[in-house]
Chain A
Amino acid sequence: MTGPRDLLGVLACAALLLQASPSAADAQETVKTVCAACHGADGNSTDPRYPKLAGMDQEYLMRQLKAFASGKRREETMSAIVAGIDPNDFSKLAGYYGKLKPAPGKVNDSRLAAKGKALYEDGNTDSGVPACTGCHQSDGQGNARFPRLAGQHQAYTLKQLNDYKSGRRATDPLMTTVGKRLTADEIKAVAEYVAGL
Chain B
Amino acid sequence: MTRHWLGLPIATLACSLAIAGADASRTDWNAAYPEKTAVLGLHGDAGRGAEAFVICQGCHRVGALGRADGSYPRLAGQHASVLIKQLTDVRTGRRSNPKMLPFADHQVISIQEIADIAAYLQALPVPATQGQGAGNDLARGARLYRADCAVCHGAHGEGDADKFYPRVSGQHFKYLLRENQLIRDNKRRNANPEMIGAIKNYTDADIAAVADFMSRLPVEMVKQVP
Contacts and interface: CB of A to CB of B under 8 A. Distances in A.
Given A173-B102, A177-B102, A133 B71 contact: no
A128 B107 CA distance: 19
A174 B103 contact: yes
Nearest to B2: A3
B102 A123 contact: no
B71 A125 contact: yes
A13 B9 CA distance: 40
Interface in A107-132: 123, 125, 128, 130-132
Given A128-B99, A134-B54, A1 B59 contact: no
B1 interface: yes
B48 interface: yes
B201 interface: no
Interface in B64-85: 67, 69, 71-72
A125 B108 CA distance: 21
B137 to A, nearest CB: 27
Contacts, number: 48
B58 A133 contact: yes
Contacts of A173: 102, 105, 107-108
Interface string A1-36: 101010000000000000000000000000000000
B180 to A, nearest CB: 20
B108 A174 contact: yes
B187 to A, nearest CB: 18
B56 interface: yes
B47 interface: yes
A135 interface: yes
B12 interface: no
Contacts of B48: 3, 5
Contact of B103 (A125, A131, A177): A177
A1 B47 CA distance: 7
Contact of A1 (B1, B100, B105, B107): B1
Contacts of B98: 128
Contacts of B69: 125
B58 A125 contact: no
A123 B58 contact: yes
B129 interface: no
Interface string A77-115: 000000000000000000000000000000000000000
B203 interface: no
Contacts of B45: 3
Q: Which 3 residue pairs across A and B have the least CB separation, nearest first?
A: A134-B58, A130-B58, A128-B99
Interface of B: 1, 45, 47-48, 50, 54-59, 61-62, 67, 69, 71-72, 98-100, 102-103, 105, 107-108
Interface of A: 1, 3, 5, 123, 125, 128, 130-135, 145, 173-174, 177
15 contacts: A1-B47, A123-B58, A125-B67, A130-B58, A131-B59, A134-B56, A134-B58, A134-B61, A134-B62, A135-B54, A173-B105, A173-B107, A174-B55, A174-B103, A177-B102
